[in-house]
Structure 1
Amino acid sequence: MKKNVLLFLMLFFSVLTFAQKTVSGKITDEDGIAIPSASVTIEEPGKDAILAYGITNSKGEYKVTFTSAEPNVDLKVKAFNQKPLTKQIGNSDQTLTFKMQSEATEIKEVQLKTKMITSRGDTIAYDLKAFDSKSDRTLADVMRKIPGIEVNTDGTILYQGNAINKFYVNGKDLMEGGYGTINNSLPKDAVQKVEVLENHQPVKILQDKVPSDAAAINIKLKNSVTMTGRGEVGTGFGDPWLWNVKLTPMFFGQKSQWVVNYKTNNMGEQVENEGNILAFGSRFEGKRINASQNDWLNVENASTPNLPVKRYLMNNVHYLSANYLTNIDTKKEWELKANANYTNNAVERESYTQYDFFATANTPAYSVLQTIHNNFYTDKAKGELIFTKNAKKGFFKNTTSFSQYWNADRGIVDRTTTNGTIQRNGAEALESPTSSFQNSLSTIIPWKEKMVNVLSFLSYQTDRQTLSVSPSSYLQIPGFTANPSSDFVGQSLRLKTFEANHSANIGFSTKGWTFTPEVGFNFKSTDLISDLSNIKSNANPALTQYNNDLKYTTAIPYGSLGVNYKNDSWILYANFPVNSNNIKAEDPLRLVSRELNKVTFEPSVFAQYTFASFWKASINANINNNFGEINTAYSGFLMTSPAGINVMDPNNPIPQNNNKSAGTRIEYRNPLNNLFFNINYRYSDAKRNLISNPTIINGYTAMNYKVQDNNVLNNGYSVEVGKYFPKFKTNASLSYSNNTSKSDALLNNDSYNNKNNGQSYGVKFNNTYFSWMSLDYNASITRTKQTSIGNVNTNATTTGFKHNLGVFFYPIENHTVGFNWDQVNTNAVDQKYHNGFYDVSYQFTWAKKKIDFELKWMNIANKKVFENYEITSTYTSFTRYQLRPSQVMFTVKFNFK
């Protein structure tokens, strides 16, 4: 492993240092007047291949960095109304000034033709028309075909494999990271181009001082004032009657923007996650989180298959959201944003699983057969108010948000074990209301040549959860017996969590360097009250009730030094914090009081080098420490699920986890030949002082932790190559990843070592060359090898194949016939499962009104179950999932304008 790391690092640094040369200078006309926007390219003699390029600025200055093994290269200069110039130069660093001769160009025919991909500085622009097909309707449809850009199923946009940090429309950040709604509903016809802003620092006052390695997306509309949006209304028959409604009007003006969104369906489309925050911006903007519940208690959940959600989701969802932005001053520096959303969702799920547990030194082999039927009810609301000033002379941002959940889950479980014991109709119910409030403030004030930054984050959340199981005889948790005189076992829990993070820093800048000393104080307090009734420990039958009353506090004063550097080639940012960790857990009920006081040094470093115009190489490393949370510190019994109970030892110390990681990346993106690729490597080592030691009998789990040093090692590398072929209107990409993890483990007090190796091969391909057809194809092959050595011994390999084929035919103008094929195969040992799903559609477009009428038949074969086989270090499992049956939908789709 160390050899692999050293080899990769040697390759990394050799790429940085191999034959990098820079040519700079100035371009003028015959009178010595600077020529802006002239192109300067470097080419190898006799070859039609551009090594590097640059564009002169307003002063006529240029700078081009290139890499070549040739002793000489050709430098070519082109500018409008100037005679092209070519000069052969030596392969060395040099400064050259050129005077161009005037040459009037006789234009016989004027034909405007937009380039597909253009680059200027850190901005790469994509002409949307160059990549769309006749079947595309929204921005997301087209973005999936752009080289270097990937759109995940949850709506997250990746550029060169990494998530973006901002999503703008005409330069404004209306959605504050929750851009899924616009991406899925903005009509493609309203968009002029998509811009990728590389190395984007969203805080303007920091743009020349604190660099960023993340990219942003800016959607440039055709009109500066645009009223648009997308709508769908559909109905159909299956089981039950089906509906699908999507209404998303949008307005984008120079002073204000807004989006209103209402979506409802019961046909398996997951729309309720569109409001999730997918891009988090810069830490200097403050802290923003996706508010969520502390899900300590759960009913037993039916499994979900590795399929597109639309194949198995039995839902009934209503999702309503509204986003508004307006400038509140004449200079358009201050913005007010108001965001709100509401979700009401009911989901039904069912699965059957057979678990075959391996024999260990202390337990024989056995099997568990289990059928679970669930109903999940989600009812939540969120509101957010944001004031922002983002100017070159100052920054201010205050975000206030409130979230409320009224969730409830139900479960009916039938379980059979190999010893003949049968528990039927185990009924499980969970009620889990949650209230959450956050306020984040960040301001940057210029002070002479310095910058003062103050950050403040406050959060308060209450979680109330009540889990009940009946009859009580359903439970057979190892070491525990349910009270036979009671009809149920109940677990109640209440959490109150308060968090406050405050910091202040001052920035000093000189010659491209920025130094930012910072002091701060992070505080978190959590109160846990729980009650477990009608169950008793076999070790102490006299006890019939178990309580927790725990207060867990973390106080961390810290000091740190941030170091940032940026020039035309280098980006460097590093942070060197020293933290004083003070943790205390108090349980007066059991006279337990544990403390940990430890000073830690947790540095992080990132460096990126840009060379030869198209190349980027980067390296990063960090060390961090984690000391657990309250869920590892309570001393009483807690039934987290009807299938398991947690048994904490009050004598165990507070967890201490030390994590070290390092990685490197080489990236190439060339808009001149439409080629993009990246290579990544990552290594991490996590050291822990506690190890989980579950006791599993008949599928029920008693979880406890043992004091024992243990490690988790992870290393992995990945490669992705993408190329757009304009002549054939084809975008193709290949990817490969290899990840290995090694860890120590315990099961029923038996120790063993785990090793997992996963490999994945992927291909993506889309083509719009033919006027009568367009094609999209995605496929992946995975191979996973699981090895356990010790008191638990396994050695098994699982392979999988997954693909999606979408073909659209256009036999007559305004008529479209579509075919979709999803295939998922799993092979393990002598088990083989092949699952195919097919859809067909017909669409007529009323071109004058831009309205589509679509008739779609999904799951033609009426496949009602999906079968899968898996192997873990402790058991094998065969699962049969319930799927959506065949269904037919008729939908009318339209733009609002």
Structure 2
Amino acid sequence: MKSSIFLIFCFPVFFFSQIKVNGKILNKNHNPVEDAIVQILDNNGKTLSFQNSDSNGNFTFQVNKEPSYTLEVNKILFEPLKRNITISNDQKSVELEIILSEKINQVEEVKIIGQASALKQSGDTISYKTKYFTTGSEHNLKDILNKLPGFEVGNDGQIKIGGKKVDNLLVDGKDFFGDNHQLATENLDADMIDDIAVINHYSDNAKIKDLEPSDKTAINIGIKKEYKGKITGNTTLISAYEGRYKAGVNLFKFDKTTNMSFIGNSNNINDEVITFDQYFQMIISSKNDFVSKRNVGNTDFIMPTTLISDDRMTKKYNNFGALNLTSYLSKKTKLNIYSIFNNVNQNKNILNNTLFFDQNSSYSTTENIKTKEQLFFNRTRANLDYLVSDNSLLTYSLAFDPYSGKKDVQIDQTFGNIENRIDEKVHDTPYTLSQQLSYTSKLSPTKLLALYIFNDINYQQNNFQLDNFPNVLNLDSPLLQDKKYNQETYGLLSTYTFKPKKLIYYIGLGYSLTQDSFLSSIENSQYSNNNKISRNFFNTEFSIYKRKGFFQFSLQNTLLYYTSLNRLLYLPKANVKFQLNQLSELNLSYQVKNDFANTNQTFIQPILDDYNRILQNNILDLGLPMRSHNFSVYLRYFNLFSGTILNLSFNYTKNEKSIITASQLLPQYIVISQVLNSTPTQNWFTNINLDKKVSFLKAKIKLNGSYSHSNSINIIDQIENPITSQNIILKASLMSVFKNGIFNYEIGVSKQKNISSYTNLNKKISNDRTELFADFDGIINKHFKYYFRNHYNIYISEQKQHFLKTDFEISYDYSKKWEYSVIGNDILNFNKTQIILSTLQNVTLQTSIIQRLPGYIGVKVKYNL
């Protein structure tokens, strides 16, 4: 079995390595020519593979043994060159020396595919001409990206290339709503898109790109000329069964100096441009990026418990607005600012059967939970660049993320023969605010100096009211509780980067001060907590990078000295990369991280988490480092010309210390949890993705599989209890690519299984979902388009359930301006449907029947400006 697995993983390498073609590219003075584009072609002129020559002018191909090939070399400022290669039967390798002649006239770019202008390569940028990859039935940018080789747009709108998330999204070279990809993928019409470029080692400042050790990937969306210099976009109206509606507007203006965009949406059909869980994930992602060079420790935003926002509702009203402005105010000043607003009113209805247990006893309850929620968030980003001189840049950056969540919950609980009526009211008002002023100066072509001054605030407030619950903490109802948490960080950082030859050297020196405070109180009681702590540290970093050639690496060494704790921490990071060709690579990395407990995780007096959980006696050592070790492997094999893309990844994390829970069951059926440091925990994740073109079917096969496994510990009745969690995802599909076809399809199957188990208590729960899908779309003629989505779902938890979800749209393009459609969503489930799920957490085993939004049929009118 092990040998079979080994062959499967190594198959792409063995299959394409039968003979080596090695070469060196030189100019007429016999100096190496770097970044020349080298292609190897078969006897029919088809490009089999391509790559760029390294800093020594070298290149290497691995091809099947055939009698002859053609080698083609292109380089800006040099004449193109072709050379025939003849291979004998007993020959094991080919050694070549290529001399390029200089060109009199400069050209701006080199085409590297003979198939018209489908793909172009220029330095770190690869450009796709979308018309050569699409079928004509695409509605928006998401549809286009999902048909480009190596691209994937998830349900959350996030764009991935070869399994890796794209960091920045640009439109005509200008920022477009930061990392909020869904605003572009769902709202930019397919007709507007001319080309898409992938930019590796992306830097906001092109002048310092060679000195800044950036691992970012950006994509740039090129807009067609006819959509530039004027207001364009569309408005959409949907009217559907039982009062369902949507009103939306997308307005854009793209020109040379300024891009402006406005996206607005009001609906009750669960059409969310950004969901609340995506919003908080973006806060974490962008905030970590904002402080990536500061080593300030824990900056994660704690998501409030009210933030479960999906289709598992009985009613949902959504109002959304987003504005983006990117403008070159002058030759020296550039401004980018965007702001996103979302407001949701929603109702939930859940029926819970809950088993409470410990080492010696158990009991169960039944609860009918009705919830009304009002959720609001805003996300604002601003960035102002001022070019002090040709080599100096001053930048001010702002990130502001406020949130408000109100939740009113009514619980009808049955415990044996006892019936209780419980009322909860929760109001969360957190926000994060980050500001940074930076000055970057390119002292010479090989030296860079940067200075940063920054301030970060993480504020959270929670008001909790509990009514009609018997004898909680011996207090009369209603019970009122207030919690406030505030973390403020101030700091400065200086960095010096220099590149004497092929290596980049980076030195960083900084100082940071973090102040942490947590207050909690329960009205008319002695239960209150007031915790404060200050941590300050000096950080020193010395790093070495090599960013070009077949073998690339980075070695980062960071020392943190916490003066308030008298602790010295060493946090190394190492990365090795083998650039197999321009699009294929193998990465190995190892990193050590550190964190500390915060004041809102340590307290003495009790705090209510909700109506059946009390947190108390959480005594942590705030000065105890919690180190983690991470090791990862990533392989990407990308052969555009054979239509083969293979991605393999593996990630392993071990936490030396972790914060876990200790639980105890009380007679009042209240779970008491404690948080404490304990023994090491670990988790690992592996993923495989294969995308293969099947030419004779005019289709491609897509395979994806992942497996994650985590081991942790909780404590029940003072006894350690190991916990194991597993998640398995498998998906396989066949997608046609008929050009301008009346009929295109994607058919396949996906399976997801989650398993959680408590070893000592012999408790285990499994949630299993299988989905069979058959999606169809096409162009009947120049006026009619259609799509049908058919997804048959089978859920197996404590019970088994299944349903068919069918969506469709048939649109009539009356003119370039007007489009009329008949649409349907989940049309076989007009009655309120439900999902049954089971969860195992702390000392509870819970089965939930959750109501979902019903389906609808309606009409849509769309007007294109």
> What is the TM-score when the length of structure 1 is the normalising length?
0.83
3-state SS of the aligned residue for 1:137?
Answer: coil
Q: Which residue of 1 aligns with 2:753?
A: 783
Letter of the 1:338 partner, please give it. I
Closer, same or farther in 2 for the Cα pair 1:124/1:733, shift >3 Å?
farther
Distance 2:734 2:531 in 1: 55
Match of 1:620 among 585, 589, 595: 589
Measured after TM superposition, the shift of residue 555 of structure 1 is: 1.7
Contact kept in structure 2, 1:168 and 1:219, CA below 8 Å:
yes
Q: Which residue of 2 aligns with 1:336?
A: 335
Closer, same or farther in 2 for the Cα pair 1:246/1:602, shift >3 Å?
same
Deviations 1:158-178 (A, max 9, x none): 111111121111122243333
Deviations 1:35-82 (A, max 9, x none): 9999743468x899866435799x9x9753223586997452378999
Q: Which residue of 2 aligns with 1:492?
A: 482
Letter of the 2:547 partner, please give it. K
Closer, same or farther in 2 for the Cα pair 1:744/1:502, shift >3 Å?
same
Q: 1:216-255 maps to which residues of 2 (within 5 A)?
A: 216-223=218-225, 225-227=228-230, 229-239=232-242, 241-255=243-257
Q: 1:290-439 maps to which residues of 2 (within 5 A)?
A: 309-310=310-311, 312=313, 314-330=315-331, 333-357=332-356, 360-364=358-362, 366-389=363-386, 393-417=391-415, 419-424=416-421, 426-434=422-430, 436-439=432-435
Q: Which residue of 2 aligns with 1:155?
A: 157
> What is the TM-score when the length of structure 2 is the normalising length?
0.86
Contact kept in structure 2, 1:39 and 1:56, CA below 8 Å:
yes
Q: Which residue of 1 aligns with 2:536?
A: 555
Q: Which residue of 2 aligns with 1:866?
A: 834
Distance 1:725 1:510 in 2: 48
Mapped pair 1:772 → 2:742: yes
Q: Which residue of 2 aligns with 1:465?
A: 462
Deviations 1:219-274 (A, max 9, x none): 112228354544343343444x2221111111111111110121111111112459
Contact kept in structure 1, 2:51 and 2:581, CA below 8 Å:
no
Distance 2:5 2:781 in 1: 57
Distance 1:516 1:885 in 2: 57
Contact kept in structure 2, 1:226 and 1:252, CA below 8 Å:
yes
Letter of the 2:473 partner, please give it. T
Mapped pair 1:529 → 2:519: yes
Q: Which residue of 2 aligns with 1:837?
A: 805
Mapped pair 1:682 → 2:651: yes
Distance 2:371 2:189 in 1: 37
Contact kept in structure 2, 1:286 and 1:457, CA below 8 Å:
no
Contact kept in structure 2, 1:269 and 1:310, CA below 8 Å:
no
Distance 2:147 2:568 in 1: 49
Match of 1:758 among 723, 727, 731: 727
Q: Which residue of 2 aligns with 1:703?
A: 673
3-state SS of the aligned residue for 1:571?
Answer: strand
Closer, same or farther in 2 for the Cα pair 1:572/1:284, shift >3 Å?
farther
3-state SS of the aligned residue for 1:481?
Answer: coil
Q: Which residue of 2 aligns with 1:169?
A: 171
Measured after TM superposition, the shift of residue 440 of structure 1 is: 1.6
Measured after TM superposition, the shift of residue 667 of structure 1 is: 0.9
Measured after TM superposition, the shift of residue 218 of structure 1 is: 0.9
Mapped pair 1:853 → 2:821: yes
Letter of the 2:163 partner, please give it. G
3-state SS of the aligned residue for 2:144?
Answer: helix
Letter of the 1:610 partner, please give it. Q
3-state SS of the aligned residue for 2:830?
Answer: coil
Letter of the 1:236 partner, please give it. S
Mapped pair 1:570 → 2:551: yes
Match of 1:580 among 557, 561, 564: 561
Structure 2: where are the runs of 5+ without partners?
A: 103-113
Closer, same or farther in 2 for the Cα pair 1:837/1:395, shift >3 Å?
same
Distance 1:291 1:259 in 2: 30
Match of 1:67 among 53, 62, 68: 62
Match of 2:452 among 451, 455, 458: 455
Q: Which residue of 2 aligns with 1:608?
A: 577
Deviations 1:826-875 (A, max 9, x none): 2357x322232223433222134352333435433324232324363755
Distance 2:369 2:213 in 1: 51
Contact kept in structure 2, 1:22 and 1:92, CA below 8 Å:
yes
Distance 2:367 2:612 in 1: 11
Of the structure 1 ranges 369-378 and 173-182, higher mean CA displacement relative to structure 2 is found in 173-182
3-state SS of the aligned residue for 1:723?
Answer: strand
Match of 2:613 among 610, 635, 644: 644
Measured after TM superposition, the shift of residue 95 of structure 1 is: 2.4
Deviations 1:183-203 (A, max 9, x none): 221121121111112343444
Distance 1:613 1:656 in 2: 41
Mapped pair 1:128 → 2:130: yes
3-state SS of the aligned residue for 2:186?
Answer: helix
Contact kept in structure 1, 2:839 and 2:847, CA below 8 Å:
no
Measured after TM superposition, the shift of residue 97 of structure 1 is: 3.1
**CA RMSD, 1 decimal:** 4.2
Distance 2:529 2:702 in 1: 54
Q: Which residue of 1 aligns with 2:442?
A: 446
Letter of the 1:866 partner, please give it. Q
Match of 2:784 among 806, 815, 819: 815
Closer, same or farther in 2 for the Cα pair 1:285/1:599, shift >3 Å?
closer
Distance 2:17 2:715 in 1: 47
Q: Which residue of 1 aligns with 2:601?
A: 632
Q: Which residue of 2 aligns with 1:265?
A: 267
Contact kept in structure 2, 1:494 and 1:529, CA below 8 Å:
yes
Distance 2:81 2:493 in 1: 58
Deviations 1:321-374 (A, max 9, x none): 2111111223xx5311232233322121221121234x543323x322222211
Distance 2:597 2:12 in 1: 36
Contact kept in structure 2, 1:291 and 1:403, CA below 8 Å:
no
Contact kept in structure 1, 2:823 and 2:859, CA below 8 Å:
yes
Of the structure 1 ranges 713-722 and 72-81, higher mean CA displacement relative to structure 2 is found in 72-81
Deviations 1:555-590 (A, max 9, x none): 22211112211223233223211112356xxxxxxx
Higher relative contact order (CA 8 A, sep 6+): 1
Contact kept in structure 2, 1:52 and 1:614, CA below 8 Å:
no
Q: Which residue of 2 aligns with 1:509?
A: 499
Closer, same or farther in 2 for the Cα pair 1:66/1:393, shift >3 Å?
farther
Q: Which residue of 1 aligns with 2:109?
A: none
Number of equivalent positions: 832
Closer, same or farther in 2 for the Cα pair 1:334/1:840, shift >3 Å?
same
3-state SS of the aligned residue for 1:606?
Answer: strand
Of the structure 1 ranges 16-25 and 3-12, higher mean CA displacement relative to structure 2 is found in 3-12
Measured after TM superposition, the shift of residue 825 of structure 1 is: 1.7
Closer, same or farther in 2 for the Cα pair 1:315/1:661, shift >3 Å?
same
Measured after TM superposition, the shift of residue 98 of structure 1 is: 7.2
